[in-house]
Amino acid sequence: MIQLDQLSKRYGALQALDGVSLNVPAGCLYGLLGPNGAGKTTCLRILCTLLAPDAGSVQIAGINALADPRAAREQLGYVAQEVAIDKILSGRELLQLQASLYHLDSATSRRRIAELTELLGMGEWLDRRCGTYSGGMRRRLDLASGLLHSPAVLVLDEPTVGLDIESRAALWQVLQQLRDDGTTILLSSHYLEEVDALADRLAILDGGRVIAEGSPESLKRDLGGDRVTLRVREFATPQEAQQAQSVLQQLDGVRQVVINRAQGHAINLVVEGEGAALLDRLRQQLEEASVPVFSLAQSRPSLDDVYLQATGRTLMDAELASVSSRDPKAEKKQAMR
Amino acid sequence: MTVAPAAQLSQETLALTKRLFVQLQRRPSTLVAGVLQPLIWLVLFGALFANAPDGLIPGGVSYGRFLGAGVIVFTAFSAALNAGLPVMFDREFGFLNRLLVAPLRSRYSIVLASVLYITSLSLVQSLAIMAAAWGLGYGWPGGAGLLVVLFTLLLLVAAVTALSLGLAFALPGHIELIAVIFVANLPLLFASTALAPISFMPSWLGWLAALNPLTFAIEPIRAAYLGQFSLNAVVLEAPYGSLTAAQCLSALLILSAALFVSIRPLLDRKLS
C-alpha cells in the first residue's frame, strides 16, 4: 500500500535520510520506531508530499506520489506532530473547512463529521472554540480531520506524545479498530511499548537508516537468548558491580555482561536458553561465588534489546543524547514553508 | 463525489475565504483599527489646516475636501498592506502545511482567498471613511464618481496585496513582516499627494510623490470628488509632465500586473 524506495534527504550538513526503503502492506498497522532525529518526521513529510526527497521514490496505493501528488493526497490522511489548529474556529468549523478542502459534498461532510464525533467522543465540546481545548481534545480533533475523507492510508507522526494514559489507551483502541476496518496505518513513535503493543510490523530507524524491520515478535525472537537483570544491592557501587561482573563472565551460558550505570549499576546479562530452571542455576552459582543478590529478574528480549543490538546503545540513551543536540530553530525552519 | 474541477476550485476558495471572515467577525479589532486610524487623520489633519490661507490648495478647494481623497486611499493602502499577515501566521503555526496536505485543485486558492478577503475588507473600510468624510462636510462623489473611486481603489489594493503576499512568503517571520509594514506605511503617505499638493513640496519630494503609486490612486479619486473626473482630464502636474486620469489608472494596472507576475515564481516554490 505504501512503498518507499531508497529515500534520501539532506538538510545542509545533516543527512536526515540515507536510503530508507519501506514496504507497508494494505491493512497493516505499521510502526516507525526510533529516537528523536532518526529521520521519522522527515520520512513522513516526504510520504505526505510536504517535502521532496533528494532521491528515491514514493508509491501510495499504486500512485507515484512524486509525479502525481494531488492523487496521492486524496488517499492520505495526515496527523502531524505539531498540531496546527485555528484557535478562533470551533472544532466543527475546522472539520467543515477540512471537508471543503477535500471536496466532500455537504451531505457527506455532515455524515462524516457526525460519525467521527461519535467515534472519538467529541460531542460535548466540538462546538467550542479550538483555543479552549486540552491536548487530548486537540489530538482527537486532529485525528478526526485526518480521517474525514475516509483515506485509505492514515499517517500519524508521534500521535501519543504528551497524552495522558487514558487518552492514549483510547487512541490505541481507535487505531486498532480502523486497522480492523481495513485502513492502512503508518505511525511513528519513540515509545517502545507503544510500537510493541500496537504495530503488526515495524521498522527501526536510526541516523536516517532502517536498522531492523519485521514483526515485533520475529525481531525479538531472532535476537534469541533471555535477558536477566541482577542487582547486587539496591544501589551498588561500581566496585561491587565489577566484582560481580567478573564472576558472572566465568559462568556457563552467559553470553554478555553489561553494567548499566543508569540503573544504579545493575548488571544486564544475556543468557542462553529459557525458563525458570536457568534462573535457579544462576542463583546457585552466584551463591557459590558469594556474590550478594538484591534482585534477579528474567525477561524475554524487548524491542529495546533489538535497538541495542543494532546500535550499541539503548533507545533511552539515544533519546537523551538527541535532546541535548536538538536545534529547535533549524527544526522550525525545516517545517516552515 | 466526483465534482468538476471548477466547482472544486470554488469550493476550496470559498471555504478558505470564509475562514478569514469568521476570524474577522470574532476578532474585529483589525477592522475597527483600520477605520479608526484614518478617521483620526481626517479629523486632526482637517482641523490642523482648517484655517490655511486661501490659495494653499490650487483651485481654491478647502483643505478638508483636498485631504479626503488622500485619507481614503491611505485607508485602502494600509488595509491591503496587511494582506500577508494571515498567510504569515499560517506559515509559522504550520496551518499552511495542513492546507498543503489536502488535495487542493489549485494551491492558488490559498492566495485567492487572501485577495478576496483583503479586497472586501479594504473596500468596506474605505467606504466607512468616505461616509465619515461626508459627515465632516468634505463631500461625496456622485454615482459615477463612486464607481471611479472603487475601481481606482481596487487597482491599488491589488498591487499592494500582491506585494504583501510576496513579502509574507519571502520573509522569515511575522516580526519582519510587521517591521516592513511599519516602515513602509507612513513614509509612503507623506511622500504622496495625500496631505499636500506637489506644488507645495521641495522638488526632490515632488519627484518622489509623482512616482509614488499612492499618488496615482489619489489624484483620480480627488478629481472624482470634485466632480471633474474624465479619463482624458489632466489630474497630476508631475515634474516630468502632466498625467491624465487614464494614465494614472494605467500605471496602477501595470504595477499590479507586474507585481503579481513577479511574485509568482516565489509562490510556486513555496506552495509546491
- Mean pLDDT within A143-166: 91
| B 38-97 residues inside an 8 A Cβ radius of A | 91-97
Which chain A residue is nearest to residue B96, measuring alpha carbons? A337
Q: Residue A235, CB half-sphere, CA atoms under 13 Å: how many?
A: 1
> Which contiguous run of DSSP H or E holds residue A18?
strand A14-24
Query: What is the interface size between A and B, counted as CB pairs within 8 Å?
Result: 83
Class of the domain covering A2-220: alpha beta
Whether residue A277 has pLDDT greater than 80: no
Contacts of B1 in chain A (CB under 8 A): 104-105, 108
A98/B102 Cβ within 8 A: yes
How does DSSP assign chain B, residue by residue? ----HHHHHHHHHHHHHHHHHHHHHH-THHHHHHHHHHHHHHHHHHHHTTTPPTTSSTTS--HHHHHHHHHHHHHHHHHHHTTHHHHHHHHHHTHHHHHHHS--S-THHHHHHHHHHHHHHHHHHHHHHHHHHHHTT-----HHHHHHHHHHHHHHHHHHHHHHHHHHHHSSSHHHHHHHHHHHHHHHHHTTTSSS-GGGS-HHHHHHHHH-HHHHHHHHHHHHHTT---TTSEEEEETTEEEEHHHHHHHHHHHHHHHHHHHHHHHHHHH-
Whether residue A320 has pLDDT greater than 80: no
- Pick the residue with more confidence: A278 or A146? A146
Whether residue A209 has pLDDT greater than 80: yes
Of A35, A37, A39, the residue nearest A19 (C-alpha): A39
User: Within 10 Å of residue A48's Cβ, how many Cβ atoms?
Assistant: 25
Whose cell is 514553508? That residue is A337
Whether residue A319 has pLDDT greater than 70: yes
Task: Give the pLDDT of residue A275.
Answer: 64
Whether residue A304 has pLDDT greater than 90: no
Domain locations along chain A: 2-220, 225-300
| B257 CA: distance to closest CA in chain A (Å) | 25
How far lies B158's CA from each of A24, A283, B43, B76, B145, in Å? 48, 83, 28, 10, 20
> What amino acid occupies position B141?
P
Task: Give the pLDDT of residue A330.
Answer: 76
pLDDT along chain B (272 residues), means of 10: 81 97 94 93 88 77 90 95 94 90 94 96 95 91 92 96 96 95 93 93 95 97 91 93 96 97 94 84
- Pick the residue with more confidence: A324 or A179? A179
Pick A84's closest partner by Cβ from B14, B18, B93: B93
Q: Is the minimum CB–CB distance between A48 and chain B shorter than 8 Å?
A: yes
Q: Do domains A2-220 and A225-300 have the same CATH topology?
A: no
Pick A86's closest partner by Cβ from B3, B14, B95: B95
Strand partners, A210: A205
| A42 CA: distance to closest CA in chain B (Å) | 14
How far lies B233's CA from each of B140, B224, B227, B248, in Å? 20, 11, 12, 11
Confidence of residue A78 (pLDDT cuts 50, 70, 90): very high
How far lies B69's CA from each of A296, A298, B113, in Å? 88, 85, 28
Q: Is the minimum CB–CB distance between A71 and chain B shorter than 8 Å?
A: yes
Contacts of A337 in chain B (CB under 8 A): 91, 96-97, 100, 169, 270-271
- Mean pLDDT within A31-37: 90
| A 144-203 residues inside an 8 A Cβ radius of B | 145
Whose cell is 513577479? That residue is B262
> What amino acid occupies position A228?
V
Task: Give the pLDDT of residue B216.
Answer: 97
Q: Is the minimum CB–CB distance between A107 and chain B shorter than 8 Å?
A: no
| A237 CA: distance to closest CA in chain B (Å) | 49
**Residue of B3, B101, B112, B177 best to disrupt the A interface, most CBs of A under 10 A:** B101
User: Within 10 Å of residue A23's Cβ, how many Cβ atoms?
Assistant: 15
Task: Give the pLDDT of residue B150.
Answer: 96
Cell of A103: 471536496
A337/B97 Cβ within 8 A: yes
| B17 CA: distance to closest CA in chain A (Å) | 10
Q: Is the minimum CB–CB distance between B269 and chain A shorter than 8 Å?
A: no
Pick B19's closest partner by Cβ from A52, A80, A89: A89
Cell of B51: 484655517
Pick A100's closest partner by Cβ from B11, B92, B100: B11
Of A277, A307, A274, the residue nearest A33 (C-alpha): A307
Q: Distance (Å, rounded) from C-alpha A196 to C-alpha A192? A: 6
- Pick the residue with more confidence: A260 or A17? A17
Pick A100's closest partner by Cβ from B15, B93, B95: B15
User: Within 10 Å of residue B180's Cβ, how many Cβ atoms?
Assistant: 17
Q: Distance (Å, rounded) from C-alpha A64 to C-alpha A66? A: 6
A93/B22 Cβ within 8 A: yes
The fraction of chain A above a pLDDT of 90, given in percent, is: 51
DSSP A82: S
Please give the backbone phi and psi of residue B203, each rounded to the nearest 5 degrees, phi first: -65, -35
The overall average pLDDT reported for chain A is: 89
Strand partners, B106: none
- Mean pLDDT within A169-174: 91
B95/A98 Cβ within 8 A: no
Whether residue A83 has pLDDT greater than 70: no
Q: Distance (Å, rounded) from C-alpha A39 to C-alpha A17? A: 6
Domain A225-300, classified CATH 3.30.70.100, yes or no: yes
- Pick the residue with more confidence: B123 or A337? B123
